[in-house]
Amino acid sequence: MDTITLNNGVTLPALGLGVYQSAPEETAAAVATALELGYRHIDTAAAYFNEKEVGEGLRRAALPRDEVFVETKVFPSDFDFEQTLHAFEKSTAKLGVEYLDLFILHQPVPDRFERTIGAYQALEKLLADGRVRAIGVSNFTRRHLDLLLAEAGVVPAVNQIELHPYFQQPDVQAAGAERGILTQAWSPIGGITFYPGPWREDRRNVMQDPVIGEIAQKHAKSPAQVMLRWGIQHGRSVIPKSTNPERIAQNLNVFDFTLDDADMERIDALDTGMRTGPDPDEPRGDFYDRPIPEA
């Protein structure tokens, strides 16, 4: 498994298991299966409401704690300094771990940015106290990164953003690269372009894209494997979600082939510039007030 070194020297596997929209009753099995197959990175979030089941999966796999990279996110309802310190306690208790490998802000909240900063300062304290090995953000634009860095002492290690062939966010990626921030792709196989949800009605399923299909055929791989390989070859962290054992295995099986420059350029050229997920600058009101239960 390829690894990526973060800006503070911590390494993470290039590919991990995502569990957004993994139903709680399926999550423990998916995590345990992934770890048995060789995954060593799990990405969850307090607001996925499945941290306890992720913890159950970690326990079932019974690997030494330092062999698994555990990442979770604090939701805006727990933003500001004290609340975020408490959110860390809630998440670690649910996950059944003493420390986190990566703890990130789930969203910027542009109309309450001072609370976003307060939450980030709590991450900085957790890092200084050795409770987390790295800290970061998610869904930040270049402008949000600038606003954060005007106040922050620690450059985020990671910015996790919507990123698949149809929405590549080159400017956000460049903003990260200029600052030493790793871009981590959520929906790296474009699940957001086809799984059920309140998304754009005119969305197109990237899994059925003819260019991806041709490249997949050429390498005798699936479209999902081609998209993951493309992300990894670009140096990104990818966290495909699946609860299906065959697809969990398939998604890990991307280290035995290489896309050539022409393949890479053809996939790069598929960017539509149009997101399918939520715009981080759009106020989402009550959604950000959704309470995260105690452990």
Say if CB 87 and CB 46 are below 8 A apart: yes
Contact between 139 and ligand A2P by CB under 6 A: the answer reads no
Total residues interacting with ligand A2P, rule: CB under 6 A: 18
Give the nearest distance from C-beta 41 to ligand A2P in angstroms. 13
From 54, 62, 100, 88, select the one nearest 241 (Cα to Cα). 54
Strand partners, 132: 100
Contact between 236 and ligand A2P by CB under 6 A: the answer reads no
Contact between 215 and ligand A2P by CB under 6 A: the answer reads no
Part in contact with ligand A2P (CB under 6 A); list of ranges 3-11, 102-110, 121-129, 236-244? 236-244
From 91, 160, 103, 96, select the one nearest 128 (Cα to Cα). 103
Measure the CA–CA gap between 56 and 96, rounded to whole angstroms.
8
Q: What angle do CA 179, 118, 104 make, to 5 degrees?
A: 55
From 257, 238, 137, 253, select the one nearest 189 (Cα to Cα). 238
The residue number whose beta carbon is nearest to ligand A2P equals 191
Give the nearest distance from C-beta 236 to ligand A2P in angstroms. 13
Contact between 190 and ligand A2P by CB under 6 A: the answer reads yes
Say if CB 61 and CB 42 are below 8 A apart: no
Say if CB 79 and CB 108 are below 8 A apart: no
Contact between 188 and ligand A2P by CB under 6 A: the answer reads yes
Contact between 187 and ligand A2P by CB under 6 A: the answer reads yes
Cβ–Cβ contacts within 10 Å for residue 96, how many?
16
Active site residue 48: yes
Part in contact with ligand A2P (CB under 6 A); list of ranges 38-46, 125-133, 187-195, 279-287? 187-195
CB-based burial label for 198 (10 Å; 0-12, 13-18, 19+): exposed
Give the nearest distance from C-beta 186 to ligand A2P in angstroms. 7
**Which is closer to ligand A2P, CB of 13 or CB of 191?**
191
Of 112, 125, 247, 284, the residue at the interface with ligand A2P (CB under 6 A) is 247
Contact between 90 and ligand A2P by CB under 6 A: the answer reads no
User: Which residue in this structure is represented by tokens 């106020």?
Assistant: 283
Of 55, 165, 240, 280, the residue at the interface with ligand A2P (CB under 6 A) is 240
Measure the CA–CA gap between 165 and 284, rounded to whole angstroms.
26
Of 195, 269, 281, 293, the residue at the interface with ligand A2P (CB under 6 A) is 195
Measure the CA–CA gap between 68 and 78, rounded to whole angstroms.
26
**Which is closer to ligand A2P, CB of 172 or CB of 206?**
206
Residues within the interface to ligand A2P (CB under 6 A): 18, 187-192, 195, 222, 224, 240-244, 247, 250-251
Catalytic center residues? 48
